Structure 1
Amino acid sequence: MNDAAQQNHGTEDGDDGSMSRRSALWTTAAGVAGAGLGLGGLGSGTASAATPLGSDSAAGAQAQTASPQRQGATMVGVPFEGRSTIRVGLVGLGNRGGSMIDLYLAVPGVQVVAVCDPVKEKAQRAAAKVTAAGQPAPAVYTNGEDDYENLCKRGDIDFVYVATPWDLHFEMAKTAMLHGKHVGVECPIALQLDQLWELVNLSERTRRHCMQLENCCYGRNEMRVLRMAHAGLFGDLLHGAGAYNHDLRGLMFDPDYYEGPWRRLWHTRLRGDLYPNHGFGPVANYMDLNRGDRAVSITSVGSPSLGLAEYRKKHMPAGDPSWKETYIESDRTISLVQTAKGRVIRLEHDVSTPHPYSRINSLGGTKGLFEDYPARIYIEPDHANDAWGDFGAYTEWDHWLWKEHANPPGGHGGMDYMLVFRLMQCMRLGLVPDFDVYDAATWTSPVPLSHLSIKAKGAPQQIPDFTRGEWKNARPGMDSAKPAKA
């Protein structure tokens, strides 16, 4: 991928392009089933029964919105242990993991001790990067789709990073925590409500942090808006919007990019928002969700599913395996999230039609609003006469991370590096992470719930209170204070 494409490419390329045997078997067996698919059989080994996301009845999933009994103490406000060197193991070394390893190697005080991918060439390439950076050769795990379990069993790893196909995220996060490791996972962290609850329960029981590594929260614009919002420049907050609107048709039909159809096959299974995190995470931070407010319900509607079939008709030869697929995913999903304080968040998802890239990223309050793509602002008393103002004039509100790292390395405009740097800093210094398992579960919950809402003709779906009532208490989050120690 060229630099321009990488700059605009959200972390859907964050999942390993390689397709494990487990993932291949599961997608082959179930991928064409369409609306009747149940997602209980992911090989997770869990005792809980999963609600079929393709079911016409939302009753089963709604029952899961009730808070299960807490199995351990809350992880709200729990700091990392603190250590001079953070020892990292990486699982999944495709498009995302293969590039993110460069950033872990670029952060002081981080040692990559193990890498894992069933494609040996990718693992060997990653290991070569480690030694080229002057670190000892890492352990390499390439013995099939379950070898990540051996990586997680190691006694010399503090943090496991997961960048694999989506249906493997839950099991890998679970395994890491059960073996005493903090874990960070690319989007989405899981795909079902019962899986989200299980990750919450495991984090509390094992005392390990389980985090959705939402890089867009660390974008320069997002962090500037966050600080301005918390300083009251937008007044009382009323509404926000976020999206993942990105034309991925060419990549989803490119066999070399994903090394298999796993990404495209999700469009044969669900109708809702497959990838809400990039849009939801930043707006949730602006509004302090789980820190004084919370997401209460979601209502979703979806357009017909036409884009992928039309693209296939124009570009794929007769006999291509994609002709066996039936797409049900809405080309454009629009969701409205209501918060406990009555605020409204609009989420959009569209990866199947031609359009410019946009995460929308807007925030409005009683004193004005910000809108991105392109970035512009209109707040009182700075602006008047219906004329947008220059957002570039507000650099004084940049987060301290962006003031310290004006030209960060890596893709996506530097937000990837900011994410890795800050997370590793929190681990080294023994700080509370900027976001936690409750945020991960909240930001991902629109995946199953938007599907159920669309199936129920737009009926609202209740978003669980993953914090079990602790959302009522204000606490720090992404708008973190600069630590006294570097």
Structure 2
Amino acid sequence: MGQGEHLERDPSPFRIGIVGAAGRGAAFASSLRSLGARVQAVCDIHAEGLEQTRLALGAAHAYTDYTQMLEAGDLDAVLVATPMHLHVPMATAALERGIAVLSEVTAGVSLEECQALVAAAARSDALYMLAENYCYTKANMFVQGLVRAGLFGEPYYAEGEYLHDVTELAERTPWRRYWQLGMRGNTYCTHSLGPILQWFGDDRVVAVSCVDTGQHRRDPRGEPYAADSSTMLCRTPRGRLIKIRVDLVSPRPHAMTNYQLQGTDGAYESSRDRAGDRGRIWLRALFEPDAWLDPETLMRLPEVGGRYLPPLWWDPPTAALQAGHGGGDYMVLHDFIRACRGEIPCPIDVHRAMDMTLPGLVSQQSVLEDGRWLPVPDSREWPSQPRRSQLNMLWPEEQLGSPPQVVVPPGYTLRQYHEGDEREYLALLAAVDLAHWDAERFARVQATILPGGFFVVTHDASGALVATALAQHNPRPLHPQGGEVGWVAADPAHSGRGLGRAVTAAAVQRLLAAGYQRIYLLSDDNRLPALHTYLAVGFRPYLCEAGMAERWEAVYRALGREG
């Protein structure tokens, strides 16, 4: 009896809700039924056709409100199959209610989000698993079995490529236009990196360097995509090197499962999805040197495939063969249900999900810095409570044609930063509790500053640099194509003279002159003098996440203002 059949006969049906059921989520339905799970509820914001989806999936309930589905109290787990930027808020909402989560990739779209997810998983008794189905394809699991048996010797190099033109798909699913095609770097890297990390065991990526080919293609509206093809190099603590190429833009046939692995005693090269092209493998212990063999042939041999493939792949049920992503959709669900029932450890838990996701997020910064090697954080070292997100403020849309007035008090001069100001500039930041700045970080930030956008105020009598603000081109997920008023600082010894207001207004003027339609700034709740200045200049709070309204109410009370 296969493992799939065992799950079908389990006397307690596994009740799962699918969010995003009218889209990607529906693809899992037949596999869930085969595994003996019950689709208890479906949820989608597209009300039209939702009842049809419910009937097709055999669900008892249908919702357009995700919170209502979670609070109905009849779910063991949720399958999050929504757009990327919704994965973390939906996963954390379920974990907070003790509901297990199987989340589509990527795990999150920002480092801050990922910290919140890890913290939520740590607080919850429920299980979190990343549905990286490419780890579960037959070929990738075969290689994993060979590696674990020691037949590759010491693996030290690997490559992965995901080449999939999704430009037409992005027109039907507009979220992809920004989250997949609108930012540089290897954000969508988990399909390529995930299987390699599984081959490498408990190793992880500690540093990345990413470069891209620039822009050669435009969308139907004439706007360029962020980049065509990007390549990320990854280092691990054990000295291994990984190369990941992601290309979601270039016009070409799909080739989404390209892998290579090199070890001291073996080598593997996958098929590149070309007609007649087959993968090849060589293992010193089994074959003569320089003699390549076909992995598909080997997997059919009882003495090889029967030994090194997982039992479920050696004798797969029909549902697995019919499932999407080469059977990966079925296999990932199979392991998720077993992990929720305590039969196996979670194969891709929240920290392994971070190992697969964080390198791509860090690569976004690396590519902006011409491929500079940057460290990748280890989520296992994060505190259980993530750093609180900063308050966001926006320049009002109705004021885009009305720049604020810049008023510099007598005895002070507003000018641009000059060469030779660096030491005083860093000392000023230290004086306002930004002492973590150093010359290296200063050089990186300078690359984001608009020409004529580095404002400083000097004290005429002493020549001291006493205030500063930057007009930066600094798009973020909440502020696509946004201009930021960044790193505003005023020497406390010169407080009460309106210096912070002067440099803030000057930076806003510069951004408006450059044509920015979205101007924002960030600050912490405890920086009350700064928040008072920003409100006085004309910025307004941006309530971008749950709890933000309450935080601003506390700020207004502390400032003696009405909200």
Scaled by the length of structure 1, the TM-score of the pair is 0.70
Please list the CA deviations of residues 391-434 of structure 1 after superposition, one character each: whole Å capped at 9, or x if unmatched: 12242321112023154232222111111122112323543211
Q: Which whole-Å CA distance do the structure 2 matches of 1:453 and 1:342 have between them?
A: 20
Q: Note the 1:52-451 alignment, pairs <5 A.
A: 84-108=12-36, 110-131=37-58, 137-142=59-64, 147-253=65-171, 255=172, 258=173, 261-266=174-179, 269-288=182-201, 291=202, 293-307=203-217, 309=218, 312=219, 316=220, 322-323=221-222, 325-328=223-226, 330-356=227-253, 357-373=255-271, 374-384=278-288, 386-391=290-295, 392-393=297-298, 394-396=304-306, 397-405=308-316, 407=318, 408=320, 409-451=322-364
Amino acid at match of 1:101: A
Cα drift, residue 295 of structure 1: 1.7
Task: Determine which structure has more spread, i.e. the larger CA radius of gyration.
Answer: 2
**1:462 correspondence with 2:375:** yes
Q: Which whole-Å CA distance do the structure 2 matches of 1:225 and 1:379 have between them?
A: 11
Q: Which whole-Å CA distance do the structure 1 matches of 2:260 and 2:115 have between them?
A: 29
| Structure 1 residues 417 and 431, CA gap change in structure 2 (3 angstroms) | same
Cα drift, residue 350 of structure 1: 0.4
Q: Which whole-Å CA distance do the structure 2 matches of 1:265 and 1:198 have between them?
A: 22
Cα drift, residue 378 of structure 1: 1.8
Asked if 1 retains the 8 angstrom alpha-carbon contact of 2:181 and 2:249, the reply is no
Q: Which whole-Å CA distance do the structure 1 matches of 2:180 and 2:69 have between them?
A: 32
Q: Which runs of 5+ in 1 are unaligned?
A: 1-81, 132-136, 317-321, 470-486
Cα drift, residue 467 of structure 1: 2.0
Q: Which whole-Å CA distance do the structure 2 matches of 1:268 and 1:411 have between them?
A: 23
| Structure 1 residues 336 and 425, CA gap change in structure 2 (3 angstroms) | same
Amino acid at match of 1:141: Y
Q: Which whole-Å CA distance do the structure 1 matches of 2:181 and 2:197 have between them?
A: 29
Asked if 2 retains the 8 angstrom alpha-carbon contact of 1:83 and 1:427, the reply is no
Amino acid at match of 1:299: S
| Structure 1 residues 385 and 179, CA gap change in structure 2 (3 angstroms) | closer
Q: Which runs of 5+ in 2 are unaligned?
A: 1-9, 272-277, 299-303, 383-563
- Seq. identity, %: 31
Q: Which residue of 2 aligns with 1:477?
A: none
What is the aligned length?
357
Q: Which whole-Å CA distance do the structure 2 matches of 1:437 and 1:83 have between them?
A: 29
Cα drift, residue 367 of structure 1: 0.7
Asked if 2 retains the 8 angstrom alpha-carbon contact of 1:83 and 1:428, the reply is no
Q: Which whole-Å CA distance do the structure 2 matches of 1:169 and 1:296 have between them?
A: 24
Scaled by the length of structure 2, the TM-score of the pair is 0.60
Asked if 1 retains the 8 angstrom alpha-carbon contact of 2:26 and 2:57, the reply is no
Name the SS of the counterpart of 2:150 in structure 1.
coil
Asked if 1 retains the 8 angstrom alpha-carbon contact of 2:84 and 2:179, the reply is no
Asked if 2 retains the 8 angstrom alpha-carbon contact of 1:185 and 1:213, the reply is yes
Q: Which residue of 2 aligns with 1:479?
A: none
Moved more, 406-415 or 454-463: 406-415
Asked if 2 retains the 8 angstrom alpha-carbon contact of 1:199 and 1:210, the reply is no
Q: Which whole-Å CA distance do the structure 2 matches of 1:333 and 1:386 have between them?
A: 32
Q: Which residue of 1 aligns with 2:513?
A: none
Asked if 2 retains the 8 angstrom alpha-carbon contact of 1:267 and 1:327, the reply is no
Asked if 2 retains the 8 angstrom alpha-carbon contact of 1:192 and 1:448, the reply is yes
Name the SS of the counterpart of 1:299 in structure 2.
strand
Q: Which whole-Å CA distance do the structure 2 matches of 1:116 and 1:83 have between them?
A: 26
Moved more, 115-124 or 163-172: 115-124
Please list the CA deviations of residues 319-340 of structure 1 after superposition, one character each: whole Å capped at 9, or x if unmatched: xxx33x3422x21111111111
Amino acid at match of 2:310: H
* Bigger strand fraction: 2
Please list the CA deviations of residues 40-72 of structure 1 after superposition, one character each: whole Å capped at 9, or x if unmatched: xxxxxxxxxxxxxxxxxxxxxxxxxxxxxxxxx
Amino acid at match of 2:34: A
Q: Which whole-Å CA distance do the structure 1 matches of 2:23 and 2:372 have between them?
A: 37
Name the SS of the counterpart of 1:442 in structure 2.
helix
Asked if 1 retains the 8 angstrom alpha-carbon contact of 2:129 and 2:347, the reply is no
Q: Which whole-Å CA distance do the structure 2 matches of 1:381 and 1:403 have between them?
A: 22
Q: Which whole-Å CA distance do the structure 2 matches of 1:91 and 1:122 have between them?
A: 14
Q: Which whole-Å CA distance do the structure 2 matches of 1:193 and 1:425 have between them?
A: 30
Structure with the larger RCO, 1 or 2 (CA within 8 Å, 6+ apart): 1
Amino acid at match of 1:404: D
Cα drift, residue 344 of structure 1: 0.9
Name the SS of the counterpart of 2:380 in structure 1.
coil
Q: Which residue of 2 aligns with 1:32?
A: none
Q: Which whole-Å CA distance do the structure 1 matches of 2:144 and 2:181 have between them?
A: 36
Cα drift, residue 385 of structure 1: 5.9
Name the SS of the counterpart of 1:272 in structure 2.
coil
Name the SS of the counterpart of 1:198 in structure 2.
helix
| Structure 1 residues 196 and 337, CA gap change in structure 2 (3 angstroms) | same
Asked if 1 retains the 8 angstrom alpha-carbon contact of 2:181 and 2:248, the reply is no
| Structure 1 residues 215 and 267, CA gap change in structure 2 (3 angstroms) | closer
